């Protein structure tokens, strides 16, 4: 039987499909080989460039991913706003700002009459929040940075579809402006949105599994907030809870609420990754700030963090290398020292929290408001 001649583009398409399937199966190394083979045959293939960049990111090769994304953007600058967004997250300062601006321009052009208008609006909102974050971090020394940050967040509000990033970024900005009550209210709103989205993801995943148990089914499952975003939200909530001015202004209830929400958010993070020392430390800090303090949870969390750091120290010692987490270990020990001995009362625990929690704020100063970049 005579076979049909193969279309010249078919091998590349097949290789790209193989790479995409490998990524779906959580095999980025295999996926990268597929995409690289495709690029050997067609160096400007968009899907292969994007796929290879994604695989490299999964493998921790940010430099390689950045180069491929930049190449794709240069080859077809008007083709994909998402490629510009991905590139922006791997750039810094003015370069990142330019990439976000290009992405927003393309997204705005697609918004009119788009069948997925809600998704496009979310992407615009997220990009504008990221621009605001740049003005709070990389571009914070630029003239008019605070005004530019405020403006970007106001623009983001026009496209707000309920994602937690916007109130979280606003909370971070208000903290930097010493507007603690506003920051606390915004952080609480961000936590409500975060927990709501997590519930929606869980519900949709369960429903999809039930459908697939019967027969093949197609359904969209919303994407939940990233772990890094939730960790940063926890830090913001803890910082809000620790601000003495909230209590002095007659808003002491906000302190307890922020601490409780911080504990809820970080508990969810620990369910996904219980081997993260920082998360145990943050749980202990949140428990200390509750009204009244949950000393049992605080003790257990700090003890867990201390034990994990001890194992890490031993591992570095076996390698003959210096322990790189001296400051983190000292922070855990200082927080433990604030706790009363078991059986004692609770004098001084909350009084010392304002100063102690400065460590959390300082540790996150370079990452506020927590968008993973």
pLDDT digits (tens, 9 = 90+) for 27-51: 999 999 999 999 999 999 999 999 9
Task: Express as a percent the part of the chain with pLDDT over 70.
Answer: 80
At 284 the three-state DSSP class reads helix
Q: Beta-carbon neighbour count of residue 69 at 10 Å? A: 28
Q: In 3D, which of 273, 282, 299 has the Cα closest to residue 241?
A: 282
In which band, very low, low, confident or very high, does the pLDDT at 151 lie, cut at 50, 70 and 90? very high
Distance set, CA 142 to CA 111, 138, 204 (Å): 31, 9, 43
In which band, very low, low, confident or very high, does the pLDDT at 365 lie, cut at 50, 70 and 90? very low
145-157 and 165-176 helices cross at what angle (nearest 10)? 150
Is pLDDT at 216 greater than 60 in this prediction?
no
- Mean pLDDT lowest among 65-69, 230-234, 239-243, 283-287: 239-243
d(CA 138, CA 125): 20
In which band, very low, low, confident or very high, does the pLDDT at 357 lie, cut at 50, 70 and 90? low
In which band, very low, low, confident or very high, does the pLDDT at 200 lie, cut at 50, 70 and 90? confident
d(CA 127, CA 10): 35
The average confidence (pLDDT) of the chain is: 86
Q: In 3D, which of 98, 99, 11, 18 has the Cα closest to residue 52?
A: 18
d(CA 239, CA 166): 18
Average pLDDT over residues 5-9: 42
- Mean pLDDT lowest among 62-71, 209-218, 259-268: 209-218
Average pLDDT over residues 9-15: 82
Average pLDDT over residues 293-320: 97
Instruction: Note if the bond before 369 is cis, omega within 30 degrees.
Output: yes
**Count, residues in the chain:** 373
In which band, very low, low, confident or very high, does the pLDDT at 224 lie, cut at 50, 70 and 90? low
Condensed to tens digits (0 to 9), the pLDDT of residues 314-332 reads: 999 999 999 999 999 999 9
Q: In 3D, which of 256, 115, 113, 90 has the Cα closest to residue 103?
A: 90
Residues 6+ apart with CB under 8 A from 367: 137, 232
In which band, very low, low, confident or very high, does the pLDDT at 202 lie, cut at 50, 70 and 90? confident
d(CA 62, CA 43): 20
* 137 half-sphere exposure, CB direction, 13 A CA radius: 23
In which band, very low, low, confident or very high, does the pLDDT at 362 lie, cut at 50, 70 and 90? low
Is pLDDT at 367 greater than 60 in this prediction?
no
pLDDT higher at 295 or 344: 295
d(CA 117, CA 101): 19
Tokens of 319: 């390698």
Q: In 3D, which of 67, 79, 130 has the Cα closest to residue 106?
A: 79
Considering the entire predicted model, what is its pTM? 0.82
**What is the predicted pLDDT for the residue at 199?**
87
Burial class (CB in 10 A: 0-12, 13-18, 19+), 159: buried
CA-based R_g, the chain, Å: 24
Tokens of 112: 């009119």
Ranges 4-8, 50-54, 111-115, 255-259, most confident:
50-54
Distance set, CA 262 to CA 176, 239, 363 (Å): 19, 10, 16
Average pLDDT over residues 299-317: 97
- Mean pLDDT lowest among 97-101, 128-132, 170-174, 200-204: 200-204
Write down the residue that tokens 């990142």 correspond to: 96
Average pLDDT over residues 46-61: 97
d(CA 240, CA 251): 11
- Mean pLDDT lowest among 66-80, 193-207, 237-251: 237-251
d(CA 317, CA 62): 29
Tokens of 34: 């597929």
**What is the predicted pLDDT for the residue at 114?**
82
**What is the predicted pLDDT for the residue at 1?**
35
At 95 the three-state DSSP class reads helix
């Amino acid at each position: 039987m005579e076979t049909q001649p193969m279309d010249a583009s078919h091998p590349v398409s097949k290789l790209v499909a193989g790479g995409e399937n490998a990524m779906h199966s959580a095999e980025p190394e295999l996926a990268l080989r597929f995409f690289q083979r495709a690029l050997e045959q067609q160096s400007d293939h968009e899907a292969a460039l994007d796929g290879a960049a994604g695989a490299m990111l999964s493998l921790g090769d940010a430099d390689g991913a950045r180069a491929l994304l930049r190449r794709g953007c240069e080859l077809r600058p008007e083709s994909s706003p998402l490629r510009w967004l991905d590139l922006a997250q791997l750039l810094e300062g003015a370069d990142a700002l330019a990439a976000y601006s290009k992405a927003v321009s393309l997204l705005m052009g697609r918004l009119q009459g788009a069948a997925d208008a809600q998704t496009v609006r979310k992407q615009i909102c997220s990009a504008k929040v990221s621009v605001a974050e740049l003005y709070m971090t990389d571009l914070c020394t630029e003239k008019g940075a605070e005004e530019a940050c405020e403006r970007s967040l106001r623009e983001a509000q026009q496209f707000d579809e309920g994602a937690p990033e916007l109130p979280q970024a606003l909370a971070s900005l208000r903290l930097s402006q010493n507007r603690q009550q506003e920051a606390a209210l915004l952080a609480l709103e961000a936590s409500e949105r975060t927990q709501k989205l997590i519930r929606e993801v869980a519900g949709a995943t369960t429903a999809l599994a039930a459908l697939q148990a019967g027969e093949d089914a197609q359904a969209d499952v919303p994407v939940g907030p990233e772990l890094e975003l939730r960790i940063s939200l926890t830090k913001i909530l803890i910082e809000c809870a620790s601000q003495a001015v909230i209590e002095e202004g007659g808003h002491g209830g906000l302190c307890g609420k922020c601490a409780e929400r911080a504990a809820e958010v970080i508990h969810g993070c620990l369910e996904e990754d219980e081997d993260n020392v920082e998360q145990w430390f943050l749980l202990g800090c949140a428990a200390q700030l509750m009204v009244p303090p949950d000393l049992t949870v605080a003790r257990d969390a700090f003890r867990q963090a201390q034990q994990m750091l001890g194992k890490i120290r031993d591992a570095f010692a076996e390698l003959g290398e210096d322990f790189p987490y001296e400051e983190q270990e000292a922070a855990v020990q200082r927080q433990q020292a604030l706790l009363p001995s078991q059986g004692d009362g609770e004098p001084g625990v909350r009084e010392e929290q304002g100063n102690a929690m400065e460590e959390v704020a300082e540790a996150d100063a370079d990452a506020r408001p927590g968008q993973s970049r």
